[in-house]
Amino acid sequence: MTPASAWPITVVKLGGSVITDKKVAFSYRDMAVRALGRAIASSGLQIVVVHGGGSFGHTEAKKHGLSSSRPSPSPKGVSETRGAMFNLDAKVCASLSAAGVHPYPFSPFTLLDRDGDGGRSFIERLLQGGATPVTFGDVVHDGKGFRILSGDTICVELSEMLGAVRCVMALDVDGVLDEAGEVIKVLGERGEAKISPALADSTGGIALKISEALRMASSGTEVRLVSGLRPAEFSKALKGVTFHGTTVKVPHGVSSG
Ligand code: IP8
């Protein structure tokens, strides 16, 4: 794992199912994002925000057959999906600003090869300057075609690069649920078999989230999954105190690969 920064950094994923209503295309939840923004602003922590696509990015991605698993040749689909993401990002940043956060939005590709350190000093400078870096799931050409790069995967890369102490993932449910709908308080390498089946989206839904959470946990970042529709619990999850939700832990010495 990369050595931690001079001060602890927390990565926050604002899930698409929190910041939008995934059942209604292009429906944005201003009040929910403002409430999370207030928790971020009042936490006093150094926070990097990543947000998902929800009913903006995923609506366009689905329409044009874009996904994280299969490359697509559609430049029109890329253009419209990215357009929807930039549109959503502007809304997220406006809500965060209204809540007292000072967002600095950028595409995750801004970080590629930046300063030769994967963008770490770029992000640290933003934080030192009092800004909150905000990035989002995006579309990349991998040599074979266009694919979606999920915000969850970006969280893994950022957590590793920054040596983040914690990653808090805000969902539209109270955490990872078991088959009976109860919150699994601690999830480890051997505890995933009985999770509730979840709706898939263009980037794999809860299954991807859990595997990415395990990757982060195995490299030393504590991962907390919490309802983003319960700002008080989100705030506790941020601060590292007891909260209602799921903590992802990997038994010592076990790597998720
Ligand atoms: O919602 C997907 O990000 P996610 C972003 O974090 C796009 O998987 C472009 C649909």
Percent of the chain with pLDDT over 70: 88
User: What does the mean pLDDT of the chain come to?
Assistant: 90
Query: What pLDDT was estimated at residue 123?
Result: 96
Q: How many helices (H) and strands (E) does the chain have?
A: 8, 10
**For 233-245, how does the pLDDT look when each residue is reduced to its tens digit (9 = 90+)?**
999 999 999 999 9
Ligand 1 atom 10: the closest Cα is on which residue?
57
The 3-state secondary structure of 19-83, one letter per residue: HECCCCCCCECHHHHHHHHHHHHHHCCEEEEEECCHHHHHHHHHHCCCCCCCCECCHHHHHHHHH
Ligand 1 atom 9: the closest Cα is on which residue?
138
- Ligand 1 pocket member 46 (CB < 6 A): no
Task: Please answer whether residues 225 and 171 qualify as being in contact, where contact means their C-beta atoms are separated by less than 8 angstroms.
Answer: yes
**For 65-83, how does the pLDDT look when each residue is reduced to its tens digit (9 = 90+)?**
999 988 888 999 999 999 9
Nearest to 238 by CA among 34, 72, 11: 11
Query: What's the CA gap between 122 and 144, in Å, rounded?
Result: 30
The stretch 78-91 carries a mean pLDDT of: 98
Radius of gyration, CA atoms only, the chain: 17
Q: How far is the CA of 62 from the centre of ligand 1 (A)?
A: 11
Give 204's pLDDT tier (boundaries 50, 70, 90).
low
**For 210-219, how does the pLDDT look when each residue is reduced to its tens digit (9 = 90+)?**
888 999 999 9
Provide the 8-state DSSP code for 13: E
Ligand 1 atom at shortest distance from the alpha carbon of 58: 10
- Ligand 1 pocket member 14 (CB < 6 A): no
Query: What pLDDT was estimated at residue 2?
Result: 60
